[in-house]
Amino acid sequence: MIHQYKMNGYNIVVDVYSGGVHAVDELAYDIIALFENHSADEIVAEMAKAHPETPESEVREVIGAVQGLKDAGKLFAPDIYADHAFDFKNRSTVVKALCLHVAHTCNLNCEYCFAAQGKFHGQAALMSFETGKRALDFLIENSGTRRNLEVDFFGGEPLMNWDVCKRLIQYARSIEKEKGKNFRFTLTTNGMNIDDDVIEFANKECHNVVLSLDGRKEIHDAKRVTASGKGSYDTIVPKFQKLVQARGGKGYYMRGTFTRENLDFTNDIFHMADLGFTELSMEPVVCAETEPYALRKEDLPVLFDQYELLAKDMLRREKEGHPITFYHYMLDLTGGPCVYKRISGCGSGTEYMAVTPTGELYPCHQFVGDPAYKMGDIWNGVTNTALRDEFKLCNAYARPDCKDCWARLYCSGGCAANAYHATGSIKGIYEYGCELFRKRMECAIMMQVARQCDPALAAYANHAKGATGCDGCSACAD
């Protein structure tokens, strides 16, 4: 299967099953479109009409080049993965990541919060140190030979239980060597309780920090408010700036949510850049479609334009030597994930689970609070093994709707929680999310093509090469 599209002056061909990407001229673009279902003579006849200025010999030369790419497995590669996808159930699975809900409470009252203001439709609660410690032990016990273990302090607002977070990190550090593990901690915070102690400790210990900011003050303050309705922008922005400045190049993301009320969300991303932040993420709101701020089908063309505008502006910034990173446009074509990862996806319900303040296990943070999706607990392990098996089989090949989608090895079949909330089944698809995802991938691939084809961008190609940033070249030393 191939996918052809035009963007920003480039003609792009993506070969789905090999992962190949080709930048082609108009002639090759038209030939590739006909190649699988037409003979060489038929293609020559068609090209005589579409490109009368091109001699037949040149057309046949391009047909030969396309055949050469097919023979080399870089175009029209066959799908050889389907059998492996359904073999996943028989592979031993381990747990390698936990989302620790250390606080089911929050000091903000954001209208669009999928966690229902941190409480996940339950009681406000804080995780005790003993429960968190048992969660870390559960992770180690179930991680097999995996060395890298990920723990995200999540909520609600994790800084409302910061002392427990610190003690859990200290506990993990005290045992990781002896257990042969490497803990990577992430802190996801709204910023309200950031102080010097948080900055120092998180910057030393956390592999990644996710900082919630929606962009422009009026946009941010419209949704991210305190219990009394006061906007949080003025409180958090200086704290985020101080934290990021002190971070010394370690990973972080400014992470925003956009809604129908800021369809021009690129202005919010650019505002983050104006504030001095470079590692940026902006997610479409996930909510009931009855909400006034829910994204609608008629908004899609606007959003597509926005994503394209963002990609083009990011290329401009790269040329000027001031690049920014957008999470969804990070694409490592040479060092990216293997096909197993591309098929199996995020690992929710198998490799990745969420732990509530009282130690219950759920497939991921988005299922927390839904009794039908309780998997077990950290003392007795996964007891709902039927549910785990359902998640094991939930991959890019398990969803009938993904069968003909060119992007399925980029999203691995999409988010199970989004699918469930949109269709009632984790094997469904959230079509709206798919539309946005495909557009984002087209933009991300176009940026890679531009880096290869535009000499002014080539100098920055190495910078963008690594998903975590610069590879140490001197191209952007200025």
Interface of this chain with other proteins, residues 202 to 221, rule: CB under 8 A = 208, 210
The answer to whether the bond into 215 is cis (omega within 30° of 0) is: no
E strands, 160-268, in order:
182-189, 206-212, 251-258
Looking at beta carbons only, is 146 or 427 nearer to other proteins? 146
Distance, first Cα to last Cα, the chain: 43
Do residues 451 and 460 make contact, with C-beta atoms less than 8 angstroms apart? yes
What track of x and - describes contact with other proteins for positions 340 through 359 (by CB under 8 A)?
xxx--xxxx--xx-------
x/- mask, other proteins, residues 14-43, rule CB under 8 A, reads ---xxxxxxxxx-xx---------------
147/173 with CB nearer other proteins = 147
Q: Which residue in the set 6, 147, 296, 403 belongs to the binding site for other proteins (CB under 8 A)?
A: 147
Which one of residues 337, 393, 401, 423 is an interface residue with other proteins (CB under 8 A)?
337
Which amino acid, one-letter code, is at 313?
D
- Reduced to 3 states, what is the DSSP secondary structure of residue 5? strand
x-or-dash string of contact with other proteins, 367-406, rule CB under 8 A = ----------------------------------------
Under the binding rule (CB under 8 A), the answer on residue 114 touching other proteins is yes
Residue 413, interface with other proteins (CB under 8 A)? yes
The answer to whether residues 185 and 164 touch, using CB atoms and an 8 Å cutoff, is no
Within positions 54 to 73, which residues make up the interface with other proteins, using CB under 8 A? 58, 61-62, 65-66, 69, 73
Please, what is the minimum distance in Å from the beta carbon of residue 92 to other proteins? 10
Helices 129-141 and 162-179: crossing angle in degrees, nearest 10, is: 30
Which of 290, 301, 338, 424 forms a contact with other proteins (CB under 8 A)?
338
With respect to other proteins, which residue has the nearer C-beta, 385 or 468? 468
Residues from 459 through 478 that contact other proteins (CB under 8 A): 466-468
Question: What part of residues 441-460 is at the interface with other proteins (CB under 8 A)?
Answer: 441, 444, 448-449, 452-453
**Cis before 249 (ω within 30):** no
How large is the angle between the packed helices 40-50 and 56-71, nearest 10 degrees? 130
Q: Are 254 and 227 in contact (CB under 8 A)?
A: no
Toward other proteins, which CB reaches closer, 107 or 395?
395
Among 120, 138, 253, 307, binds other proteins (CB under 8 A): 253
Q: How many residues does the chain have?
A: 478
Q: Which two tokens stand for residue 385?
A: 């093994």
Distances (CA, A) of 73 to 17, 76, 331: 9, 7, 21
Q: Is 9 a residue that touches other proteins (CB under 8 A)?
A: no
Q: Cβ of residue 397: shortest distance to other proteins, in angstroms?
A: 14
Comparison of 127 and 286: residue with beta carbon closer to other proteins: 286
Interface residue with other proteins, options 410, 420, 446, 457 (CB under 8 A): 410
Angle at 206 between CA 204 and CA 210, to 5 degrees: 130
Joined together, the tokens standing for residue 433 give 């999310």
Please compute, for residue 243, the number of CA atoms within 13 A of its CA located in the half-sphere on the CB side: 31
